[in-house]
Amino acid sequence: MAPIGEDFVDLEQPIEPPPVGNLQCLEPRALGFFSLNKYRAFRNDASQLGLIKVPRPHGFPLNMNVTIDPGFSKELKHFYGDYLDHLLRYMVASPMRFFAVNAAGPGILARVTIVCQMELLQEVMCTPYNCTENWRVVAHRYRNTSYMCLEEPAGVANPSQQQSNNFEAVLKQIMCHGGQEYLPNWLEGMSEYKNVFFGSLDDDVSILYDATMGGARVRNKFVNSPLATLSNLRFMDFKLGRCVTTSYHSDSSACFGPMEALAWWSECYLKNVNHIYVGCGYPVGVVNCLKNQTPVSLINHSKDLWRPNVCHVFLANTLRKMLRAMEGTDDPCTTFEFNYVAEKRKIYVRKESGANRYSHLPDWYVRMMEDCPE
């Protein structure tokens, strides 16, 4: 087994109090959006935005056991293979917004401290309560900006995870078509609509990330370009209770537990979503009803088994510590790996560089940063 690095964070130790005067919450706000089609190709538009049309009562139960082409469905927990490519393309599409002239030499600089994925922030944020799943963050520090992404986990894809992914993709399609009877003949789960968010821990640490959105309602249909104005959209998400995705039990009143509540709450926070539709039912793959949940109700459901302030402080402390570990490096081919081993309750850090080390920053982006073409 390859070494995983030096001790970095020990979760058995008390979480450090926040530095005096520093904010602990990102308080993210949406800056823009983009879409990915079924081939995961970038589109600088809202073409994949789904507008919510809740099925009428006579449309239940809903059957999640609908075929999705295996070539167009998500196998793992996240879309790891994309890394930061799509978010970087979004940034490049608005250069005056995200880049500045490099006063110390040729090329340009990104205007933010960290560029990453929502899923990365969520994984780190929930780590104090994660005793089962490992994760790995791969990071590069280049031109004063740290680019971080989740690495694809080792091992074979879990069939039950793919089934859950497919079930959620079907539920999203149903919720954006108004019912099962209105679904298209062919379904895929690869296209996405994403919002781009900006948040900050303090005056020195700013974070830009993208997040896949579920669906939206239009607040005012009579304004100009109602789908192109983020403030005119009320975003909601869709989740499935474990009563639908597993044969664990048949009691739909307990369709999710504290850890599901933690995952859903953290996602709501990072995506500025205040409403979730949770599909519940029995047997596996059947949704008999939709239950409404909010971030507040998810916190109340946890019964103090997890606390949001612990998540906020741990995320802020860990990101700052990661930034300190990368200080003094300015090389897209130098990689920092932050490995969380759940069994040991520790995060390890390892630094690697050299010609054989693969960079997750695409070549086209590095050339643009260095050449600064007109």
pLDDT at 25: 85
Q: Say which residue the tokens 């110390």 belong to.
A: 104
Radius of gyration for the alpha carbons in the chain, expressed in angstroms and rounded: 21
Give the C-alpha separation, 341 to 202, whole Å. Answer: 29
pLDDT at 212: 97
Q: Which residues 6+ apart lie within 8 Å of 251 measured at CB?
A: 243
pLDDT at 252: 43
- Mean pLDDT in runs of 10 for the chain (374 residues)? 80 75 78 96 96 92 92 89 95 95 89 97 97 95 96 81 92 94 91 96 92 94 74 94 70 75 97 95 89 94 89 94 95 93 96 71 92 60
CB 189 within 8 Å of CB 165:
yes
Give the C-alpha separation, 370 to 99, whole Å. Answer: 12
What pTM was computed for the model?
0.93
Give the C-alpha separation, 264 to 98, whole Å. Answer: 30
Residue ranges per structural domain of the chain: 6-60+78-234+306-371
pLDDT at 2: 55
| Helix, strand, coil in percent for the chain, rounding step 5 | 30, 25, 45
CB 140 within 8 Å of CB 322:
no
Question: Quick one: 321 exposed, middle or buried, by C-beta within 10 A (0-12, 13-18, 19+)?
Answer: middle
Tally Cβ neighbours within 10 Å of residue 77: 19
Give the C-alpha separation, 329 to 327, whole Å. Answer: 6
- Residues linked to residue 341 through DSSP beta bridges, in sequence order: 346
Of all helices (H) and strands (E), which one includes residue 126?
Answer: helix 118-126
Tally Cβ neighbours within 10 Å of residue 283: 10
